[in-house]
Amino acid sequence: MNIIGVIPARLASSRFPNKPLAKILGMPMIGHVYLRSKMCKDLSEVYVATCDQEIVNYIESIGGKAITTADTHERASDRTAEALLKVEKETAEKVDIVVMIQGDEPMVTPEMITKSIKPLIEDKEIKVSNLMAYLKSKEEHEDPNEVKVVVDKNGFALYFSREPIPSRKKGVEDVPMLKQVCIIPFQRDFLLEYSQMEQTPLEKIESVDMNRILENGLKVKMVFSSDNTYSVDTLEDLKKVEAAMKNDILLKDYLQ
């Protein structure tokens, strides 16, 4: 199968401007994401999709491939869809699965990507999947920068929110506090179909792409990951990730 990774990235983040080029252990964050994603043997190729020439220049400087996209995209998934079509045009090869790997997931591992793809390979009826992981504290559960998810008994998403769901206010001791980890594989045709759907009310309210799928009555398969990962939304997150990555075993394979 032709499976590609696409890392959407832009400098104009409202919460953390120039975030992709913020350095972790001396390397821009987008470099960590790209080089770690390239380690996944299930991916035919990895591309960074961006509207910023500075990111293009950096990725090319480390031997990577960048796709220039429009600067009008509001959602990472829409930028990924544009990049998919450009890749197919450039390579003259149709893609089977597109793995959207968010540029603020610098602790991504090859195993995480492999795990996220598996449901789409095994069951063609599954059009999109997401990784999920446990939140480690009540503080993380209440952090609006962490996207929370609740799932049904078969592991499909019921809802995504930046609010603490499910509620801990009813006295239940064992509340499943799960977060979305933004490694998101799409079946190729479904990504294009999805990108043509109008944005939906709950997608806008929560600022979570995946709610567009749920609001259209479709399913998102969630895949549990036990890897210790943190996304970067703020400068404080960046410091936490840098501390967590100091002893990361993958660093020796790409960080000089």
Confidence of residue 195 (pLDDT cuts 50, 70, 90): very high
Residue 16 has pLDDT above 90, yes or no: no
Q: Output the average pLDDT for the chain.
A: 94
Per-residue pLDDT, 17: 84
Per-residue pLDDT, 198: 93
Per-residue pLDDT, 192: 97
CATH class for the region spanning 3-230: alpha beta
Confidence of residue 65 (pLDDT cuts 50, 70, 90): very high
Percent of the chain at pLDDT exceeding 70: 99
Residue 201 has pLDDT above 80, yes or no: yes
> Which range, of 23-37, 166-180, 211-225, averages the lowest pLDDT?
166-180
Per-residue pLDDT, 167: 93
Residue 13 has pLDDT above 80, yes or no: no
Residue 105 has pLDDT above 80, yes or no: yes
Residue 241 has pLDDT above 80, yes or no: yes
Residue 172 has pLDDT above 90, yes or no: no
Q: What average pLDDT does the segment 130-134 reach? A: 96
Residue 180 contacts residue 147 (beta carbons within 8 Å)? yes
What are the domain boundaries of the chain? 3-230
Per-residue pLDDT, 88: 97
Q: Is the dihedral of CA 152, 154, 160, 164 positive or negative?
A: positive
Structure tokens at 51: 């509207």
pLDDT digits (tens, 9 = 90+) for 110-125: 999 999 999 999 999 9
